[in-house]
Chains A and B, each alone.
Chain A
Amino acid sequence: MAAVPRARLLNLMKAQCEVFSTTYNPDGIRMGNKILRQRLRGPTLAKYYPPKGPTIGTLERVFKRYELETINEEEEDRQEHLAG
């Protein structure tokens, strides 16, 4: 089998890079493209702790217009403690 000339291989590589839209870098120079290929880890890392859910106080405020009665024991205890 005849050896394929290097220039021809390089042409093939160039065409490949165009098709798959990657950087043509035959000499293997470090261009830092691997940094650009990395995905951003920030959003997943920031979601580690569960977000704060609604409390009785916030629910009271949201559904104020329906004039519902809510029992907020903690608030009652606090008021009692303040009074007595």
Chain B
Amino acid sequence: MSMFRAKKLDIGCFVNIKTIRDHSKRKAFAQFEPERQALRYIIRNTTLPPKARAEAQLQLTQMHCYTRPTQIRGRCIMGGKGRGVLRDFKMSRYNFRMQALAGNIPGVKKASW
């Protein structure tokens, strides 16, 4: 959603709407994480009155979907692709191969024995 989007472009890697969206989701999640955790604590605490816990459940479900951690997806920083992304290198498999063969990733070498 545009209300979570930065007014000025603030990422320096490959940019398309999907990476911008994912970045906005990450920032929204970081901003609202304490609130979410507090609500989660109230829900899990069985010593609190059931009414308060039910209210917390409702509040948590009514929070914006961008504040949910499950919305975040690792995307390729070289091409913005969402599938086949190696988490350690933040790159899709093809871009990882190209960068590794070009020697741009320290410590990565093509296997040969």
Measured between beta carbons, the chain A residues less than 8 angstroms from B12 are 49-53
**Interface membership of chain A positions 47-71, coded 1 if the CB is closer than 8 angstroms to chain B and 0 otherwise:** 0111111000000000000000000
Q: Nearest chain-A residue to B20 (Cβ)?
A: A49
Measured between beta carbons, the chain A residues less than 8 angstroms from B22 are 48-49
Measured between beta carbons, the chain A residues less than 8 angstroms from B27 are 46
Alpha-carbon distance A21/B72, docked complex (angstroms)? 35
Q: Nearest chain-A residue to B42 (Cβ)?
A: A32
Alpha-carbon distance A53/B11, docked complex (angstroms)? 8
Chain A nearest CB from B86 CB (Å) reads 13
- Residue pairs across A and B with CB atoms within 8 Å: the count is 69
Interface residues contributed by chain A, number (CB under 8 Å): 20
Measured between beta carbons, the chain B residues less than 8 angstroms from A45 are 26, 29-30, 69, 72
A1 contacts B by Cβ under 8 Å: no
Measured between beta carbons, the chain A residues less than 8 angstroms from B88 are none
Residues of B within 8 A of A (CB): 9-13, 19, 22-23, 26-27, 29-31, 33-34, 37, 40-47, 69, 72, 74, 77, 90
Complex A-B: 25 CB contacts under 8 Å: A30-B45, A31-B47, A32-B42, A32-B45, A34-B44, A35-B37, A35-B41, A35-B44, A38-B37, A40-B33, A40-B34, A40-B37, A41-B33, A41-B69, A43-B30, A45-B26, A45-B30, A45-B72, A46-B30, A49-B23, A49-B26, A49-B77, A50-B12, A51-B10, A52-B10
